[in-house]
């Protein structure tokens, strides 16, 4: 999750140029067109894989890949629904229910890119919701996102707390302050903040969603998945869950090949043993946690 700090008009305009508008009979999503040009996550609309060779003899290669986007069950998967019904919001009187009718509209995914830089690995997704017919619209339409990954972050309005690689995370994607019942936003005291909605502080509104999750320890392997749903607050503290999509990314770090072992005539002595020891430590460091 990235907190809101964007010009919506500019982003929405670029998305509308990239997307293809459709009208369907049931919920669906569209992906950006693939470019014939080399994939560049900072200028392309759709970059499913991005690799970076790190400088130096000990550099290695970092590769980030997108996970395939897929539609989710109307009303949410059991894992998503159970997370909400056992949440701090549910304990304070919030009710969550599954919709009985699919959305007729579309999630137009205008940007979906994997990226790997010297500082960060991750992905960026940007979506426009295109309602059709009786689909919910207006100020009571929101987004709820569940994230599962193997490197937890605690997001706060003043920054993020890195919980460390290998710390599994399974949560509703909101800043910590949104779980605090009596929080008052100092910049907007009338703003409702105790809710599970991504768009309360995230880069989103009733028709737009963006999330550019990333991790800074690029030498570790990450596995990050999300379930994203459109929802409607049909009454105070009563939320109806509609359709959604699953998306995400993963990255792997591949170390450079080891140098050739020394031979006896080179005077290298015990370099074979040292090399084997180095490889063993390196492999241990690259072990990943499945989620």
Looking at residue 12, its pLDDT comes to 47
Tokens, residue 18: 């990239």
Domain that holds residue 277: 260-291
Question: Both 247 and 268 in a single domain?
Answer: no
CA dist 289 and 138 (Å) reads 41
Do 90 and 230 share a domain, yes or no? Answer: yes
Q: What does the pLDDT read at residue 34? A: 81
Residues 130 and 99 in one domain: yes
Is residue 124 assigned to a domain?
Answer: yes
Q: Are residues 277 and 211 in the same domain?
A: no
* Domain match, 247 and 280 both: no
| Residue 113, strand partner residues | 47, 124
The span from the CA of 227 to the CA of 212, in Å, is: 14
DSSP label at residue 111 = E
For the chain, how many residues are written? 291
| pLDDT tens digit sequence for 164-190 | 999 999 999 999 999 999 999 989 999
In a domain, 216, yes or no: yes
Asked if the structure places residue 1 within a domain, the reply is no
Does 24 map to a domain? yes
The H or E element that residue 224 is part of is strand 222-235
Whether residues 109 and 56 fall in one domain: yes
Q: Which of 262, 284, 285, 257 is nearest to 273 (CA)?
A: 262
DSSP 119: S
Say yes or no: 274 and 173 in one domain: no
- pLDDT at position 5 is 56
The predicted pLDDT at position 265 comes to: 60
Distance separating alpha carbons of residues 8 and 76, to the nearest angstrom: 28
- Mark whether 250 and 270 lie in a shared domain: no
Does residue 208 sit within a domain? yes
Give the whole-angstrom CA distance, residue 217 versus residue 146. 22
Do 82 and 217 have their domain in common? Answer: yes
Contact 210, 131 (CB under 8 A): no
Q: Are residues 229 and 92 in the same domain?
A: yes
CB 244 within 8 A of CB 228: yes
Task: Write down the pLDDT at residue 266.
Answer: 54
Model confidence, pTM: 0.84
Is residue 223 domain-resident?
yes
The answer on 279 and 235 residing in a single domain is no
Q: What is the pLDDT of residue 41?
A: 85
Question: Based on the domain organization, do 193 and 213 belong to the same domain?
Answer: yes
Q: Which two tokens stand for residue 124?
A: 């960026």
Instruction: Give the largest CA-CA distance in the chain.
Output: 82
Q: What's the pLDDT at 25?
A: 56
Cα–Cα dist 197/137, whole Å:
15
C-alpha to C-alpha distance for 232 and 201, rounded to whole angstroms: 17
Q: Is residue 2 part of a domain?
A: no
Point out the residues of the chain with pLDDT beneath 70: 4-25, 36, 262-291
Question: What's the pLDDT at 69?
Answer: 98
pLDDT digits (tens, 9 = 90+) for 232-252: 999 999 999 999 999 999 999
Is 290 a member of any domain?
yes
* Total structural domains within the chain: 2
């Amino acid at each position: 999750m990235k907190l809101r700090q964007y010009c919506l008009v500019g982003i929405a305009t670029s998305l509308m140029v990239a997307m293809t508008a459709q009208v369907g009979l049931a919920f669906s999503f569209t992906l950006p067109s693939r470019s014939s040009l080399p994939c560049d996550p900072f200028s392309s609309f759709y970059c499913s894989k991005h690799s970076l060779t790190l400088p130096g003899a000990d550099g290695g290669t970092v590769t980030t890949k997108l996970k395939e986007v897929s539609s989710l069950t109307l009303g949410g998967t059991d894992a998503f629904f159970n997370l909400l019904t056992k949440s701090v919001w549910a304990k304070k009187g919030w009710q969550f229910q599954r919709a009985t009718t699919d959305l007729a509209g579309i999630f137009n995914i205008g940007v979906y890119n994997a990226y790997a830089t010297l500082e960060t690995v991750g992905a960026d997704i940007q979506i426009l919701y295109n309602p059709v017919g009786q689909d919910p619209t207006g100020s009571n339409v929101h987004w709820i996102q569940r994230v599962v990954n193997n490197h937890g972050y605690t997001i706060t309005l003043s920054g993020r707390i890195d919980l460390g690689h290998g710390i599994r995370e399974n949560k509703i994607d909101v800043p910590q302050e949104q779980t605090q019942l009596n929080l008052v936003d100092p910049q907007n005291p009338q703003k409702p903040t105790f809710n599970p909605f991504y768009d309360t502080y995230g880069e989103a509104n009733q028709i737009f969603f963006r999330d550019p999750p990333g991790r800074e320890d690029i030498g570790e392997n990450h596995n990050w998945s999300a379930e994203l749903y459109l929802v409607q607050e049909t009454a105070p503290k009563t939320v109806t869950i509609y359709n959604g999509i699953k998306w995400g990314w993963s990255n792997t770090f591949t170390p450079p090949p080891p140098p050739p072992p020394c031979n006896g005539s080179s005077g290298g002595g015990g370099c074979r043993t040292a090399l084997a020891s180095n490889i063993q430590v390196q492999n241990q460091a690259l072990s990943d946690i499945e989620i």
